[in-house]
Structure 1
Amino acid sequence: MSGAARIIAVGDIVTDVLAVLSGPLATGSDTPAGIRLTGGGQAANTAAWLAARGHPVTLVAVVGDDETGRTRVAELAAVGVDCAVRRCADAPTGTVIVLAGADERTMVSERGANLRLAPADLDAALAGAPDARHLHLSAYTLLDAGSRDAGRHALAAARERGLTTSVDAASAEPLRQVGAAAFLDWVRDVDLLLANADEAAVLAGPAGPHAQAEALTTVVRHAVVKRGGDGAVWASRGGPTVEAAARRVLVLDATGAGDAFAAGLLAAWTGGAGAAEALASGGEVGALAVSLVGARPVH
């Protein structure tokens, strides 16, 4: 994408053990499923979707010094991601077991080397990408105590360099565990916060999506509440609230759909698009993601 502003994506890279279930999970028994190994991780997925659409992107992450990590980095490089990924000798590449139904997924995670992300990794990546104009942070980096300093440093370093910033809220249960007040303090004054319906309920209470998004703008400049098949809502501090409907497509696998939505939205918004156009771009990429099995674009 000629002339597009480079995005620095910061966060996790894992192997997904993806099981697409044939029906409801039979707890304590057997459930048939299609099972595959594929690349995953919120930041890595968003970076892959950005690169697949021709947008310049650098991924900052840590993998183990193992064959799995080498494979994960190689597949990201193959779709055009610039990988500022450090190999860690004393922790394995992260792994996530994903149990996916038609419109929902449950994850069991081993964070592995993702916990070793350090402030120095961010400094090196920013120094190596002078054309960067935006930093996008996976909140898993903040939610894990081992990588929290790196996540907070990423946001501070980006602001010091004049980059705009965004954070994807990542996952409802870890948000509950750290507490909404602490998390919102960590992301205070970022330019854009993205949260799905469950995450928004943790951060802004059990209100409607418009009220949730507007409440979050007391902390961040813009907030987007992602509602899956019901579309998305964008609120801006001191500005209008915009709603966009979702595209109707056959859902094969919802894994990584929010990460793809973020990629489409950020590509448009960092290029100067307004809220409505950015939401439409996010919806387009998110719809493509749910029509595929796995969290990454096919290449």
Structure 2
Amino acid sequence: MLVVIGDLVADLIVLGGASLERGTDNPAEVRLTRGGSAANVAVAAAARHPVRFIGRVGDDTLGRTLVGELEAAGVDARVQRDGRTGLIVVLVDAVGERTMITDRGAAAELDAIDPDWMDGADWVHLPLYGFATPLSRKAVTDAATRAAARGARVSLDLSSVATLRELGAQHLRTLLADLRPDVVFANEDEARTAAALGITPGGVYVVKRGAEPVVVSADGESVEVAVDRVDDVRDSTGAGDAFAAGYIVAALAGAGPTESARAGSVLAMQALRRPGALSG
């Protein structure tokens, strides 16, 4: 069982909304979709491996709708409910790059996780967003370290330059020391920020570089894994999460890091061709 812990929120996708003229109408294509890095990974993996999502949503209609969508996609959803469900505004430019305005709402207040929810975990995936607040940081760390002590592998996605900077070098070092992740995912900007903070993850370090080859580092050696170019990019939202899902599912099936990175890149390409997160 792959267990993914983190955010389930709504994404308001604004295609063509990255360049706005102030004080007047700005026509754009607007879509409301399911979002949250952890939820995206869970859904992208669900058709390929048993998946459980753990997170927190508001006690509201939006939260119930989003949980229902996870369950419809084949995800075993275990959620705490309180407050209001988070919403992210995603402004997407002409080449598919995104700028996000985030209100994580209830997702930021994930509390202590029921130990039973971790039963059967053989891999635990953790986006960095879940460590942004002290309460959820403790909840996620405790759950992941308990699962690791029972033999589960752990992966960490560095997720966000802003979150890396907000946590800072000391918190990041403590986090890596506590979790000892088997795999760390980052995009090129996140890897550059981590390096500037003096952070060098151990285990397998997978750095995604857009259309350039993925760099997979392990045991002091680095290998480049070629990716196919996608010319019709609509939206990069969820592409990194799809990559993580593809990588993890391949690794759980016995693939090594290089082969797993290839599997991740294939799933990521599908996400790049559609607005919003991959639906499975």
Q: TM-score per shorter chain, which class? A: over 0.9
Distance in 2, matches of 1:154 and 1:31, equals 45
Q: CA deviation at 1:85?
A: 1.5
Query: What CA distance in whole angstroms lies between the structure 2 residues aligned with 1:256 and 1:18?
Result: 12
Structure-1 residue corresponding to 2:87: 95
Report what 2:66 is aligned to.
72
1:242-253 aligned within 5 A: 242-249=223-230, 250-253=232-235
* Structure 2: stretches of 5+ with no match in the other structure: none
C-alpha distance in structure 1 between counterparts of 2:160 and 2:252, whole Å: 24
- Contact 2:48–2:249 (CA<8 Å) still a contact in 1? no
Deviation of the 1:166 alpha carbon? 0.3
The aligned counterpart of 1:209 is: none
Residues 23, 205 of structure 1: CA spacing in aligned structure 2 closer, same or farther, 3 A cutoff? closer
Structure-2-length-normalised TM-score: 0.92
- Aligned partner of residue 147 in structure 1, secondary structure: helix
The count of aligned residue pairs is 276
Structure 1 gaps, min length 5: 1-5, 207-211
* Structure-to-structure mapping, 1:215-226, within 5 angstroms: 216=200, 219-226=201-208
Q: Does 1:16 align with 2:11?
A: yes
- Note the C-alpha offset of 1:25: 3.6
For 1:176, the aligned partner's letter is: R
Structure 1 letter corresponding to 2:240? G
User: Any idea what SS the aligned residue of 1:176 has?
Assistant: helix
Work out the CA distance in 2 between the residues paired with 1:269 and 1:28.
50
Q: Is the 8 A contact 1:66 1:92 kept in 2?
A: yes
TM-score normalised by structure 1 residue count:
0.87
Which residue number corresponds to residue 101 of structure 2?
108
**Which residue of the other structure, out of 261, 264, 272, is the alignment partner of 1:279?**
261
Amino acid at match of 1:183: L
The RMSD of aligned alpha carbons is 1.9
Q: Distance in 2 between matches of 1:200 and 1:283?
A: 18
Task: Report if aligned partners of 1:139, 1:170 keep a CA contact under 8 Å in 2.
Answer: yes
Structure 1 counterpart of 2:163, from 142, 161, 174: 174
1:260–1:289 contact (8 Å) kept in structure 2: yes
Q: Secondary structure at the match of 1:179?
A: helix
The higher relative CO (CA closer than 8 Å, separation ≥ 6) is in 2
Deviations 1:79-124 (A, max 9, x none): 1111111222xx1011111111223111111111112212234x23
